[in-house]
Amino acid sequence: MTIQAPAHNPSQLSLLSDASSRLEKALHHVVLSNDALGRLRFPKASLSVSIPVRMDDGSLRVFQGYRVRYDDTRGPGKGGVRYHPHVCLDEVQSLAFWMTFKCALLNLPFGGAKGGITLNPKELSRHELERLSRGYIDAIADFIGPDIDILAPDVYTNAMVMGWMMDQYSIIKRKASPGVVTGKPLALGGSQGRDTATAMGAYNVMTHILPKLDQHPGNTTVAIQGFGNAGAALATFLHQAGYRVVAVSDSEGGIYASQGLDIPKIREYKRDSPGERLRQRHSIQSIYCHDTVCNIGEEIISNGDLLKLDVDVLIPAALENQITAANAGEIQARYIFEVANGPISSAADEILDGRGILVFPDILVNAGGVTVSYFEWVQNRNGFYWTEAEVGDRLNTKMVAETAATWAIAQEKSISMRTAAYVHALNRLGEALDAKGTQDDYLS
């Protein structure tokens, strides 16, 4: 099945085509009507906006913003907003496509959506970021809503940004509207457990799967590419459980220690000062160089080196396309759990599969974030809030149930976990799409 992308950016068109190509194998294992296939080929709605912002020096800059709602058959669109220099319509559409299947896989009453603004947020002051965030909502307010399309944090956006966005939407609508945004500060209707949800969901998947592979805390080594919010929290959970985390990295480089790293110590050096995630990181200059994890005192390695380490478990938790046909043949890990979105290309998938390396896909492994976002949305609508323990229990139940179902499909059909995940999601999407009527319903 080929999905349609804007044609002005060949590199991102490749990303979108790569995303849709993952469905080809799954389509051999599902019964999907032509009507459903036709609807999934195109996004339901795409919006491009310009956002004029008065900068602190009095100048005016105009930023480009996007929001794509790929499918809302199963419920309102759901997806994050990222601030990054590489954001473009093609990338946002690809991510909305992935979100469609992620929400179906986790059986959440949402469709897939995504948004973003093209900029380097580190170049803006906090006041400028607030004006930009509120301007983005001014531009897309008629396109979103608690029953239409719900926003969430993503790359270089956080709870503070989500609070600004929710507040601006409420001002426009002249009523409190906490359900339009998830990932908000607790004081503004956020959910307990949301800040570690992606990591905890991944941990739930791993601790359900690894024992099936005879991988237990005492005999399992782990390398994590990406020491941001999700990667750092997941490293902490695994370290606390007794897994040997031997390597971590951030955008500037990484560290490796065969005996295992002191994750709490690294997080202490890496931790941001409160409210400064979008600005300069808080660092201890005598120990911590250039705001990276590369000078803690262990062996210094590059991001590329980390991917090739001889470990039991590799966790890409950074950006897209980190493992491609160019380096897939050098991967030595036995198992890969994708915490980032799209860290492995489809060509690399074929190579890894041929070498017997098991890959557990992003649409399952990193779905803890959108699952707790769903919990937050439910709490906002009900006006009743759960404890952190309740959120954790509900998340574990949901993640384990869908992991077990996907594993069962993979075993029954002798297919990869990625293909099984898409089969599971397509079955749910197809059922919802066909419930609106198919060609057969009109033939008499």
Strands, E assignment, 189-348:
221-225, 244-250, 253-256, 299-301, 313-316, 335-337
User: CB neighbours of 320 closer than 8 A, spacing ≥ 6?
Assistant: 15, 340, 341, 342, 343
Residue 4 DSSP class:
P
User: CB neighbours of 199 closer than 8 A, spacing ≥ 6?
Assistant: 229, 230, 231, 232, 233, 234, 236, 237, 339, 368
Strand partners, 127: none
User: CB neighbours of 431 closer than 8 A, spacing ≥ 6?
Assistant: none
Contact 429, 71 (CB under 8 A): yes
Residue 206 CA from chain centroid, whole number: 16
The question of whether 265 is a catalytic residue gets the answer no
Question: How is residue 249 written in tokens?
Answer: 């990295």
Strand partners, 61: 53
Q: How far apart are CA 124 and CA 155, in angstroms?
A: 15
Q: How far apart are CA 119 and CA 129, in angstroms?
A: 10
Q: How far apart are CA 48 and CA 39, in angstroms?
A: 21
Task: State the DSSP string of 316-352.
Answer: E-S-S--B-TTTGGG---SEEE--SSS-B-HHHHHHH
Which of 102, 114, 270, 398 is labelled catalytic?
Answer: 114
User: CB neighbours of 362 closer than 8 A, spacing ≥ 6?
Assistant: 98, 102, 338, 339, 340, 341, 342, 343
Q: How far apart are CA 141 and CA 163, in angstroms?
A: 15
Residue 126: count of CB within 10 angstroms of its CB: 13
In which region does residue 32 sit, left (phi positive, over 0), alpha (psi from -120 to 50) or beta (all else)? beta
- Residues with catalytic roles: 114
